[in-house]
Chain A
Amino acid sequence: MSRFPEMRRLALGAAALLAAAPALAGGLGLGREATHAEVAAWDIDIRPDGLGLPEGSGSVSDGEQVFSEQCAMCHGDFGEGVDRWPVLAGGQGTLTHDRPVKTIGSYWPYLSTVYDYIRRAMPFGYAQSLSNDDVYAITAYLLYMNDVVTDDEFVLSNENFAEVRMPNEANFFDDPRPDTPIFVKAEPCMTDCKAEAVITKRAVILDVTPDGEDDSGITVD
């Protein structure tokens, strides 16, 4: 937040705004204390520093087996993606290309995100069905598929997890906007701003809008 001096100002302004909202003299006494088991059941998130990682481990070869059973039908045997399902491996060196391939290996900054996301949301349609060891194993296999680890005997665990660094971590930066000219207290051009305007691109040439022959009322031909 310190990177956003205006946010501090925003917060101050907000204090004034919220003063207009109903004021609280103190706690309302609403809600109840959560039990340890309740917090443990829902608080499954993991941070890049490893906070939240469960105990457990899984090897590349275990991961290959679980992946082929649970994941490969959409993501392909090697994480290459079936049909239009996400590609999980490869694409290294393509981020500056015209059509970049953004995968775990080529793009993702932190390994913790891989573990966290698989555990909370995958397999698609049957989330939170994998054991902690299965998720370690799949994560290890994805590291191997992405050449982040090259040893097929590699075992990933909560002990060595934080030692693994992803190749693209250094290429993320906090939002630097505004990044286009702004006109604070200045008038943008209103008359005779340019000699003429000429059409350079047309949507109808692509012709990919839903055609609406039956129901949309849109035609693009």
Chain B
Amino acid sequence: MTDDAHTSRRAFLRGAGGVALGSAALAAGAARADDPLITDLDAQPWTQFLGDPVDAMPYGMPSEHEAHVVRRTVSWLTADATSSINFTPLHELEGIITPNGLCFERHHGGAAHIAPGDWRLMVNGLVGRQSVFTLADIMRFPRVTRTHFLECAANSGMEWRGAQLNGCQYTHGMIHNVMYTGVPLRLVLEEAGLKGAAAWVLAEGADAAGMTRSIPLDKCLDDCLIATHMNGERLRPEQGYPARLVVPGWEGNMWVKWLRRIEVGDHPWHHREETSKYTDLLADGTARRFTWEMDVKSVITSPSPQAPITHGRGPTVISGVAWSGRGRVAEVHVTTDGGVNWTKARIEGPSLDKSMHRFNHEFDWDGAPLLLQSRAIDTAGYVQPTKDALRAVRGVNSIYHNNAIQTWAVDSDGRAENVEIS
């Protein structure tokens, strides 16, 4: 079934011929023969024979028919697969929670594997007590649960110069949205005792990249967490097991995984990941540093290049996601004509601070080509800009923080393409 379903979907994607045939069959279908999937018992073995026992799969996996819903990478983006990126299949997901096994990965020295009993957290520097905590210690602190998006600063970075990758998994998939449980970083800092000159924190990972970032103390005392759980279960190894930093609304690089040390200081450290990387070069040769917040952004996940319209004309659902590092998403507008006219979409489900939001907009497709865009506005009043508006200020070489409006061109066969428009 998997292969059949997949093959026919691919056959559809390959050519307009398949679409025309499919539509014709569908249209004629209203009037005729009995459906053997209803009338023929042999076509429905699940009705007659027993299924799997409850001990078949102690940790369940998705249906085999969903085997195409996986993280994917783009090999030419990086020199090596251990300091690299893969992408969340946004086009196949619904709601706002990203399944743990589909959360995109970004490592700089590969995914470290650390046994929980071997993990240590050091808190040192401008603190009253240079401290060491075990995971068992951390689990005894008061804990909180929060839902936040984690977006790589480089999400959509390959699109600065133009439309390049054909699918929202690739253009927007360096993001996941997860319900974290953990300890407020503030409580751990207070346990060690902050000294008066404390103004910055260095967070450091235990992996072979020794990932470090400088974070202003105010942010650490505000809403940062040392997270041990994601979506109810322990962190996945590739997400920093057994503990990672959660830095709500701020660029993903700062969410240090396999967290091993928190140093308190009076000045930032200007380490590699905040000088050579995660600084934003402008056209005049100057560069921005400490561009922490991820600005308001949205993308239509369906229809999109990997999720074409396959049902022909008629009722059609536009679905997408929006988020902002500066608050909640207040509104999302959708256009089908490339921005001549906009309609307010429905925010579907929870609207949480610095979290992904789901939006939907239903319309009656007449089969004419579409230019689809979404435009999000956050509770800080920021409106998602066009790519031209961003390029006018930043040029095309800043790599990071591309939160521009995305356009999908849908042709009369329902196929969608990544484009830029005037």
Residues of A within 8 A of B (CB): 1, 4, 7-8, 10-11, 13-14, 17-18, 21-22, 24, 27-28, 30-34, 38-39, 42-43, 45-49, 83-86, 95-96, 100, 102, 104, 107-110, 112-113, 116-117, 120-121, 124-125, 127-128, 171-185, 188-204, 206, 208-210, 215-220
Chain B residues with CB below 8 A from A116, complex form? 212, 269, 271-272
Q: Are A45's CB and B292's CB within 8 A?
A: no
Q: Are B340's CB and A197's CB within 8 A?
A: yes
Seed contacts A43-B263, A173-B289; 15 additional CB < 8 Å A-B pairs: A13-B222, A14-B223, A30-B191, A31-B123, A32-B131, A33-B130, A49-B267, A113-B275, A124-B109, A175-B293, A180-B393, A182-B381, A190-B343, A195-B340, A217-B13
Q: Are A34's CB and B272's CB within 8 A?
A: no
Chain B residues with CB below 8 A from A34, complex form? 122, 124, 130-132
Chain A residues with CB below 8 A from B212, complex form? 45, 116, 120
CB within 8 A of A193: which of B276, B284, B339?
A: B339
Chain B residues with CB below 8 A from A202, complex form? 163, 409, 417-419
Interface residue? B221 (CB, 8 A): yes
Q: Are B270's CB and A31's CB within 8 A?
A: no
Q: Are A31's CB and B164's CB within 8 A?
A: no
Give min CB distance, B204 to chain A, whole Å: 7
User: CA–CA, A203 to B338, complex, Å?
Assistant: 17
User: CA–CA, A42 to B146, complex, Å?
Assistant: 30
User: CA–CA, A86 to B134, complex, Å?
Assistant: 37
Minimum CB distance partner of B268 in chain A:
A47
Chain A residues with CB below 8 A from B306, complex form? 216-218
Interface residue? B119 (CB, 8 A): no
* A-B contact list, 18 entries, CB within 8 Å: A14-B223, A21-B144, A46-B269, A109-B275, A113-B275, A116-B272, A121-B210, A171-B286, A172-B287, A173-B287, A174-B289, A188-B377, A193-B341, A197-B338, A198-B338, A200-B420, A210-B72, A210-B74
Interface residue? B129 (CB, 8 A): yes
Given contacts A7-B216, A8-B218, A28-B191, contact A218 B210 (CB under 8 A): no
Q: Are B137's CB and A30's CB within 8 A?
A: yes
CB within 8 A of A102: which of B80, B162, B276?
A: B276
- Of listed B144, B192, B275, residue having the most chain A CB within 10 A: B275
Q: Are A190's CB and B419's CB within 8 A?
A: no
User: CA–CA, A199 to B337, complex, Å?
Assistant: 11
Chain B residues with CB below 8 A from A47, complex form? 265, 267, 269-270
Q: Are A174's CB and B288's CB within 8 A?
A: yes
Interface residue? B237 (CB, 8 A): no
Chain A residues with CB below 8 A from B187, complex form? 24
